[in-house]
Amino acid sequence: DGGITQSPKYLFRKEGQNVTLSCEQNLNHDAMYWYRQDPGQGLRLIYYSQIVNDFQKGDIAEGYSVSREKKESFPLTVTSAQKNPTAFYLCASSFSGASYEQYFGPGTRLTVT
């Protein structure tokens, strides 16, 4: 079964701790994305990567970091510098090129207290 997996589904952390969210895809997609979803707001782009070992900041990259060492994997680290980290995080992937739809994972809900 092809798809995108995110783990864990729920994550709880104390303030001041870094936390890493996992995203894996077996769709052979070149591009991967991380979004944040908050109530009443559209999805906001955190980081994206078009190819392995390369990634770009999105609209709200401050306090986050990523890596893209493998085509299938694009982990997101939420650092202690992120001022309001509690949110629903979504990973997506797509083929690269002119215009391709993005496919989303099931999401990780992060709660920081």
Closest CA to 6 of 60, 53, 72: 72
- Stretch of 14-22, 36-44, 63-71, 75-83 contacting other proteins, by CB under 8 A: 36-44
* Residue 16 binds other proteins (CB under 8 A): no
Where do we find the tokens 């893209």?
Answer: 68
- The nearer residue to other proteins, 4 or 32, going by C-beta atoms, is 4
In the set 1, 14, 15, 40, which binds other proteins (CB under 8 A)? 40
Residue 75 interacts with other proteins (CB under 8 A)? no
In DSSP notation, 31-51 reads EEEEEEE-TTS--EEEEEEEE
Sole window of 12-20, 41-49, 65-73, 79-87 interacting with other proteins (rule: CB under 8 A): 41-49
Q: Which amino acid is at 29?
A: H
Burial of 50 (0-12, 13-18, 19+ CB in 10 A): middle
Smallest separation, CB 39 to other proteins (Å): 10
The verdict on 61 binding other proteins (CB under 8 A) reads no
Q: Note whether 95 binds other proteins by CB under 8 A.
A: no
CB contact at 8 A, 112 and 86: yes
Residue from 98, 110, 112, 113 in contact with other proteins (CB under 8 A)? 98
